[in-house]
Chain A
Amino acid sequence: MLLSQRTGAVTVALVGNPNAGKTSVFNALTGSKQKTGNYPGVTVERVTGKMKVEGTEFLVIDVPGLYSVEPVSVDEQMATNVLRGEGPDVPDLLVYVMDATNIERNLYLFSQIAETDKPAIVALTMTDVLARDKREVDTIKLASMLGVPVVPVVPHKGTGLADLQEAIFRAVDDPDVPSIDLGFPQVVMDAADGLVETFGLSGVELTRKEARCVILEEHCSTYARFREQAELKQAIDDARTAVLGAHAKGKTVDAQARYAWAGRIRREVVADRDTMRRSWSDKLDSWLTHRFFGLAIFLGTMYLVFQSIYTFAKPLMDIIDVGVGWVSDLVGKALAPWPMVESLVVGGILKGVGAVLVFLPQIIILFLFIALLEGTGYLARAAFLMDRLLGWCGLNGRAFIPLLSSFACAVPGIMAARVMPDQRSRLLTALVAPLMSCSARLPVYVLMIGAIVQPKFGQAWAGFALFAMHFVGLAVAIPTVWVLNKGVFKGRRLPFMLELPRYQRPKLRDVWLTVSSRVKVFVKTAGTIIVVMSVAMWALLEFPKGDKAAYAAEYAKLPEVRRQAVTEDNYLAERQREDSALGRFGRSLEPAFRPAGFDWRMTTAILAAFPAREVVVPAIGILFGQGETDGGDAGARQTLQDSMVKATWPDGRPLLTPWSAVAFMIFFALCSQCMATLATITRETGSWKWAAFAFTYMTVLAYVAAVATNFVGTIVSR
């Protein structure tokens, strides 16, 4: 059928090997008219865009990169589904993006895709890189050998784009289907002919190509069709034995034939590479992957990345805080006549919006770095250098940046996990990234260490404790990955494979698109969840309102000493929180947390901190009768620490012991108390189930570790 006869936009799928330059071609064709989503139920991203050529609208799909149509990963599975026309997209036309510097392997996949009999165009990328070696591809010869048009494109320079669009437009009325002669060994073709004949006798139509596929490829879809028919299945099995004998497997014959074909074509269309000549990229690489200098430069780069998200983002985050505070004041004043509405808008909605916006500086800075590192080609080197370190427990070198970033904040860290090419690694990384000690945990450590460790054990131990707290998460993450890798993620593992692209100047457009699409995705999906949760938390803490008059009467009856320590306003706030839905919940959960050494106040503070652990210090402030403080001001922190040290159980024992304080910190180090993280996991994995999983395992871990710490510590110190 001519493509022009169909209704609706013509669907064009960009397919090819990973790193062939698909995304650059896609960006150049569609510009900013892109939509990013996920394939249903998996972490594989589905990117589509629109393109208009001479008034005709095209839907363009950036299909995940693949090496073969026999998928070994979920990403390849999704790509194969698109090629087969299964799933949400059914392409009318394939644009096969072929890397001119890597023709043989790119032709291997082309030889498989050619067998789908879909109209295709080859977009030949990296011809500019090839030109630096003074080599070029004979595109006319290549086109005649493949049976489809070949259009050289250099997306970032805009070269060849118009030609490619025109070729796509022409294909609507006059499509070309690949026709290639793979030249399989005679014995294979004879067996295939025999099989066609046998099937014909049983009245079943089988093409020669299907016959060859079914003989050589174990997982050929044609085989599945006839598995139930004993006679035909027998014929297939006989043909397989005839070709392969007892010792070989079809895969070897198939791969060898395809690569032999690819090698023949490559030799026809492009000159051999001079392997003696070292490019400047190779020379640079010998420094950047050097045993000593390579590692030193790497550590320096990572330090810069980490400092940027940890330190440089801070002023921007403060500006956002101030801005949101300013808007909240304005809105608060405007809504003052309606206190309920004011409280909802300021304490619930605006607080949630602020919580979303405050992540943006870190996300923007991290993705700016990632896009730059990826654009230059250094990101692959980072994975190359770090693979050994992360490989043994089931991760790989690409997990380094996501995990490092998570020490500043897990949200950009989890989003950075998308640089990994397979779903298993992405999931593993996203699930353990929240265990890294993020910057929001720091105030808790500072508060607790200052209250207990420093006065009792001195400055040196306080410093050590702070350092050690940052390692708790990492130490727990390693066995966690190991267990998840062995237990939760069954099924086939992928071999680690990595290509070190030539170093190059990053393309600003690609950097901009990477950063802006990340921001858009975060604000839209994670942001919505965060605002809704913020409103829910507000309601749990504000209601019921309690009896103000009764609290005031209680305050009046308090002993003089107590009244000097706590102002009336702070007392009223403390009592209201105590009687709120969350406070009651905290009280009822106190018995569960008592083994960890936490009373109802600490328990309620923990509960209040589930949406965002940042709020734990302000919550502790209110619950210990010192009003809301963020712990940033040293004087206010000291007062709060004093009141915590003086706090007792009803029987007069001191509430905070060194062990219950450490247990509290460990609880915060391990617990999943960040709805932004959970929202991001949901978004990135395409399923709330993984978020629920992360929440459950982390919370259980945190609880068990806190109880164990307090229990063991109390026994030891007795």
Chain B
Amino acid sequence: MADTLTFDNLKKGMRVRIAGVSEEAPFCGRLMELGLTPDAEFTVIKVAPLGDPVEIDLRGYKLCLRRSECSCLKVALVD
């Protein structure tokens, strides 16, 4: 079984799948509307020089998010 990670652990180049979404968290609804739904996969393209935000490649588009604001998402590594 793949390790479960949070956004805090993401590093450049990782490919991950969304393993879980905790719906009560503040920004959860909006994140799902952006395409971060359960089972969606994305790749980490880059991390800003100061460590945050991170840019991900999701559903054919690219999006930058802050690590702390995605705490409701649990992700698992995909090979």
Residues of A at the B interface (CB closer than 8 Å) are 67-68, 70, 72, 101-105, 108, 248-249, 251-252, 255-256, 259, 262-263, 266, 272-273, 275, 285-286, 289-292, 294-295, 384-385, 387-389, 391, 492-500
**Contact B49 A499, beta carbon cutoff 8 Å:** no
CB distance from A709 to the nearest CB of B (A): 34
Whether a CB of chain A sits under 8 angstroms from the CB of B78 is: no
**Contact A496 B53, beta carbon cutoff 8 Å:** yes
**Contact A259 B59, beta carbon cutoff 8 Å:** yes
**Contact B64 A384, beta carbon cutoff 8 Å:** yes
**Contact A391 B66, beta carbon cutoff 8 Å:** yes
CB distance from B26 to the nearest CB of A (A): 7
Encoded as 1 (CB less than 8 Å from any A CB) or 0, chain B from 9 to 53 comes to: 000000000000101001111111111011110010010111111
- Residues of the B chain whose Cβ atoms lie less than 8 Å from the Cβ of A256: 32, 37-39
Q: Taking A259-B40, A499-B63 as contacts, is the C-beta distance between A104 and B53 under 8 angstroms? A: no
* A391 to B64 CA separation, bound complex (whole angstroms): 14
Besides the known contacts A251-B29, A496-B53, 16 further A-B residue pairs in the complex with CB atoms under 8 A apart = A67-B34, A101-B60, A105-B61, A249-B23, A251-B28, A255-B33, A256-B32, A289-B46, A292-B49, A384-B64, A387-B50, A387-B53, A388-B48, A388-B51, A388-B52, A499-B64
**Contact A384 B65, beta carbon cutoff 8 Å:** no
* A494 to B60 CA separation, bound complex (whole angstroms): 23
Q: Taking A252-B21, A275-B57 as contacts, is the C-beta distance between A497 and B65 under 8 angstroms? A: yes
* A494 to B57 CA separation, bound complex (whole angstroms): 21
Select from chain A the residue with minimum beta-carbon distance to B33. Answer: A68
**Contact B61 A102, beta carbon cutoff 8 Å:** yes
**Contact B59 A263, beta carbon cutoff 8 Å:** yes
CB distance from A606 to the nearest CB of B (A): 40
**Contact A496 B51, beta carbon cutoff 8 Å:** no
**Contact B37 A495, beta carbon cutoff 8 Å:** no
Return the contact of B59 from the options A105, A295, A384, A387 (Cβ within 8 A). Answer: A105
Would you give 13 A-B contacts (Cβ < 8 Å), ordered by A?
A108-B35, A251-B32, A252-B38, A259-B37, A272-B60, A275-B43, A289-B46, A289-B48, A493-B26, A494-B27, A497-B63, A498-B53, A498-B64
**Contact B35 A384, beta carbon cutoff 8 Å:** no
Select from chain A the residue with minimum beta-carbon distance to B29. Answer: A251
Among B55, B62, B69, residue most surrounded by chain A Cβ atoms (within 10 Å): B62
* A67 to B34 CA separation, bound complex (whole angstroms): 7
CB distance from B8 to the nearest CB of A (A): 14
* A388 to B65 CA separation, bound complex (whole angstroms): 11
Among B26, B49, B65, residue most surrounded by chain A Cβ atoms (within 10 Å): B49
- Residues of the B chain whose Cβ atoms lie less than 8 Å from the Cβ of A289: 46, 48-49
* A289 to B55 CA separation, bound complex (whole angstroms): 11
**Contact A495 B64, beta carbon cutoff 8 Å:** no
**Contact A499 B21, beta carbon cutoff 8 Å:** no
**Contact B55 A384, beta carbon cutoff 8 Å:** yes
**Contact B23 A251, beta carbon cutoff 8 Å:** yes
- Residues of the A chain whose Cβ atoms lie less than 8 Å from the Cβ of B28: 251
Interface size on B, residues (CB 8 A): 36
Select from chain A the residue with minimum beta-carbon distance to B31. Answer: A495
**Contact B29 A70, beta carbon cutoff 8 Å:** yes
**Contact A104 B66, beta carbon cutoff 8 Å:** no
- Residues of the A chain whose Cβ atoms lie less than 8 Å from the Cβ of B52: 387-388, 391
* A103 to B59 CA separation, bound complex (whole angstroms): 9
Select from chain A the residue with minimum beta-carbon distance to B53. Answer: A387
Select from chain B the residue with minimum beta-carbon distance to A249. Answer: B23
**Contact B66 A255, beta carbon cutoff 8 Å:** no
- Residues of the B chain whose Cβ atoms lie less than 8 Å from the Cβ of A292: 49
CB distance from A38 to the nearest CB of B (A): 25
- Residues of the B chain whose Cβ atoms lie less than 8 Å from the Cβ of A500: 55, 62, 64
**Contact A496 B33, beta carbon cutoff 8 Å:** no
- Residues of the B chain whose Cβ atoms lie less than 8 Å from the Cβ of A102: 60-61
Select from chain B the residue with minimum beta-carbon distance to A383. Answer: B64
- Residues of the B chain whose Cβ atoms lie less than 8 Å from the Cβ of A493: 26
CB distance from A558 to the nearest CB of B (A): 64
Q: Taking A72-B30, A259-B37 as contacts, is the C-beta distance between A495 and B59 under 8 angstroms? A: no
**Contact B53 A384, beta carbon cutoff 8 Å:** yes
Select from chain B the residue with minimum beta-carbon distance to A492. Answer: B26
* A497 to B35 CA separation, bound complex (whole angstroms): 13
- Residues of the B chain whose Cβ atoms lie less than 8 Å from the Cβ of A494: 27, 30
Select from chain B the residue with minimum beta-carbon distance to A391. Answer: B66
**Contact B30 A104, beta carbon cutoff 8 Å:** no
CB distance from B16 to the nearest CB of A (A): 14
- Residues of the A chain whose Cβ atoms lie less than 8 Å from the Cβ of B62: 499-500
Q: Taking A103-B60, A290-B49, A295-B49 as contacts, is the C-beta distance between A496 and B69 under 8 angstroms? A: yes
- Residues of the B chain whose Cβ atoms lie less than 8 Å from the Cβ of A104: 35, 59-61
Select from chain A the residue with minimum beta-carbon distance to B36. Answer: A255
**Contact A101 B32, beta carbon cutoff 8 Å:** no
CB distance from A389 to the nearest CB of B (A): 7
- Residues of the A chain whose Cβ atoms lie less than 8 Å from the Cβ of B33: 67-68, 70, 108, 255
- Residues of the A chain whose Cβ atoms lie less than 8 Å from the Cβ of B70: 495
* A294 to B50 CA separation, bound complex (whole angstroms): 11
Select from chain A the residue with minimum beta-carbon distance to B23. Answer: A249
